Chain A
Amino acid sequence: MNRTTESYIEIINLSKSFGSHKVLDNINLTVNRGEVVAIIGPSGSGKSTLLRCLNFLTRSESGEIKFQNRSWSLNSEGKRYKGKKYEKSLSELRSEVGMVFQNFNVFPHKTAVQNVELGLIKVRKMTKNSAREIAIKKLEQVGLGDKINQYPDKLSGGQKQRVAIARALALEPRVMLFDEVTSSLDPELVGGILEEIRRLANTGITMLVVTHEMGFAFQVAHRIVFMDSGKIVEVGTPDEIRNSQEPRTRAFLSAIL
């Protein structure tokens, strides 16, 4: 695996509240290039919110997010970015940070290949032909070469999730975010999608994976982040987490394993 020690994503003092409810409480985390980080923790601990802050689907109210030393939260004077121009620039960031959701969110009015090529055409400004070529290649990679012209309602949950993965990968993102991408799948389809993510992990792409599949997390991740009540309780290698002395980590793992 092509893990490096070059810090790639930096999350600094990140906090987020919904009303008076503090969902992320001063989160600090650095992810290296090529690293696979699994985020685990009880329901409601803020895992999804943290992931969504990374591509700015959710806006944190304080703290900072940097990709390759470039801050996407604060300008050179340390003020929070805002305004139309900033919103526009987020498009650039988002096309380099792929995200896959729990409930797929494939576009139901578009065929598999149209789902995948859309970003290439509209964001990357590719011609239709070259976009299609790439889209087909990506769908073949996730085992959907024979379904490219299907509409999502003719696809199984696992196949929809593959379309969603291909859609994100088509843009050649430098970071992939997975938010419980197997949670709404029938049990027999979970393995296939996990296999897909495992394969990706081996390509050296930087990934943050929120998952309840502990076996998978411990096998695939380089580091595991355990969150509880909006805080990062512990970060460590799978071995370190498995042998953790931290009571909350132990309680969580013993309940779930």
Chain B
Amino acid sequence: MMSNSNYKFDWNVIEKYWPEILKGLIITIQISLAGMAFSILLGICLANGKLSNNLLIVRISSSITELFRSIPLFVLLFWIYYGFSLKFNFALTEFEAGVLALGITGGAYMAEVFRAGLLAVPIGQLEAAYAIGLSKMQSSMFIIFPQAIRIIIPPMVNIYIGLLKGATIVSVIGVSDMIYVARYVSLETFAPFELYSLVGIIFISLTLSISGFVYLLERKLGRSKVDG
């Protein structure tokens, strides 16, 4: 299309189109957050399944986890969007399909994170909770989960960062995320380098701020370690 030698940088496009890019960014953030929420729900279900006393439930949950983890996001997205909506006549919007795909991929990873987090809390904590008369539910809510969450947060944020980057794929089914915006603006302006660089810089700053935030959070939570 164009050779490097006669490509003219035109950083003005950014000044002109940044509100569009910003709209795309908001969609990207929305879809990744919704995907994360779905991942957390799915992850909790799968982790509970893996920790169940029932061997059949353990097997099923583990297989689902493995399966979901092994499907490339790109393929999953196509299956959900075209497969589901067209084949079963069950119309999902592009956004919903994106959330579902991100949620399924993220959920498979979250399952392992939740499982490891819950297992990291010593069994004595649960026994002490039971010993003062707390119910199963209360023990999970007030004793086990608050301790597991300290272990869960850092890998959970990594998964979120993964979803955020994964969210760039949803443009292929026509979600008007940041990548999608960058692409159609560059078709008008012939300045893809500038626009994708901007997208890149936005992602880098987002990711670094999230990591920084988690670092601070971890230090704050680190105050009370997990041991009796």
Q: How many angstroms from the CA of A94 to the CA of B132 in the assembled complex?
A: 6
Inter-chain contact B147/A108, CB cutoff 8 Å: yes
Query: Which B residues touch A152, using CB under 8 A?
Result: 224, 228
Q: How far is the CB of B98 from chain A (nearest CB, A)?
A: 36
Which of A91, A99, A168 is within 8 Å of B135, CB to CB? Answer: A91
- Starting from the known contacts A55-B130, A108-B227, 14 additional A-B residue pairs (CB-CB under 8 Å) come to A55-B131, A91-B134, A91-B135, A101-B124, A104-B228, A105-B228, A109-B147, A122-B142, A123-B132, A152-B224, A152-B228, A153-B224, A167-B132, A168-B131
Q: Mark A86-130, 1 if CB is under 8 A from B, else 0.
A: 011001101101110101111111000000001100110000000
Inter-chain contact B226/A108, CB cutoff 8 Å: yes
Inter-chain contact B133/A91, CB cutoff 8 Å: yes
- How many residues does chain B have at the interface if contact means C-beta atoms less than 8 Å apart? 25
Q: How far is the CB of B222 from chain A (nearest CB, A)?
A: 10
Which of A57, A107, A160 is within 8 Å of B130, CB to CB? Answer: A57
Q: How many angstroms from the CA of A169 to the CA of B219 in the assembled complex?
A: 34
Q: Mark B190-228, 1 if CB is under 8 A from A, else 0.
A: 000000000000000000000000000000000111111
Inter-chain contact B124/A168, CB cutoff 8 Å: no
- A72 adjacent to chain B (CB < 8 Å): no
Which A residues, 53 to 100, have Cβ-Cβ distances below 8 Å to chain B? 55, 57, 87-88, 91-92, 94-95, 97-99
- A205 adjacent to chain B (CB < 8 Å): no
With contacts A106-B228, A118-B142, A152-B224 known, is A99 near B133, CB below 8 A?
Answer: no
Inter-chain contact B128/A101, CB cutoff 8 Å: yes
Q: How far is the CB of A99 from chain B (nearest CB, A)?
A: 4
Query: What are 14 of the A-B contact pairs (CB < 8 Å)?
Result: A55-B130, A57-B127, A88-B135, A95-B133, A97-B131, A101-B131, A105-B228, A106-B228, A118-B142, A119-B134, A122-B142, A123-B132, A153-B227, A167-B132
Query: Which A residues touch B128, using CB under 8 A?
Result: 101, 105-107, 164
Which of B131, B134, B143, B146 is within 8 Å of A99, CB to CB? Answer: B131
- How many residues does chain A have at the interface if contact means C-beta atoms less than 8 Å apart? 31
- A227 adjacent to chain B (CB < 8 Å): no
Q: Mark B116-149, 1 if CB is under 8 A from A, else 0.
A: 0000001011011111111110100011001100
Q: How many angstroms from the CA of A92 to the CA of B227 in the assembled complex?
A: 27
Inter-chain contact A57/B133, CB cutoff 8 Å: no
Q: How many angstroms from the CA of A107 to the CA of B130 in the assembled complex?
A: 12
Residue of A with least CB distance to B138: A122
- A218 adjacent to chain B (CB < 8 Å): no
Q: Mark B140-173, 1 if CB is under 8 A from A, else 0.
A: 0011001100100000000000000000000000
Q: How far is the CB of A96 from chain B (nearest CB, A)?
A: 8
- A24 adjacent to chain B (CB < 8 Å): no
Q: How many angstroms from the CA of A164 to the CA of B130 in the assembled complex?
A: 13
Which of A91, A98, A108, A151 is within 8 Å of B228, CB to CB? Answer: A108
Query: Which A residues touch B143, using CB under 8 A?
Result: 107
Which of B125, B133, B226 is within 8 Å of A119, CB to CB? Answer: B133
- A171 adjacent to chain B (CB < 8 Å): yes
Query: Which B residues touch A95, using CB under 8 A?
Result: 132-133
Which of A55, A109, A122, A153 is within 8 Å of B134, CB to CB? Answer: A122
Query: Which B residues touch A118, using CB under 8 A?
Result: 132, 134, 142
Inter-chain contact B131/A160, CB cutoff 8 Å: no
Q: How many angstroms from the CA of A108 to the CA of B150 in the assembled complex?
A: 12
Q: How far is the CB of B191 from chain A (nearest CB, A)?
A: 52
Q: How many angstroms from the CA of A106 to the CA of B146 in the assembled complex?
A: 14
Q: How far is the CB of A94 from chain B (nearest CB, A)?
A: 4
Which of B132, B138, B146, B225 is within 8 Å of A153, CB to CB? Answer: B225
Inter-chain contact B225/A108, CB cutoff 8 Å: yes
Query: Which B residues touch A104, using CB under 8 A?
Result: 228
Q: How far is the CB of B138 from chain A (nearest CB, A)?
A: 5
Which B residues, 93 to 109, have Cβ-Cβ distances below 8 Å to chain A? none
- Quick one: which of B127, B133, B138, B223 has the most chain A CB within 10 A? B133
Inter-chain contact B224/A119, CB cutoff 8 Å: no
Residue of A with least CB distance to B122: A105
Residue of B with least CB distance to A124: B133
Q: How many angstroms from the CA of A185 to the CA of B225 in the assembled complex?
A: 19
Query: Which A residues touch B138, using CB under 8 A?
Result: 122
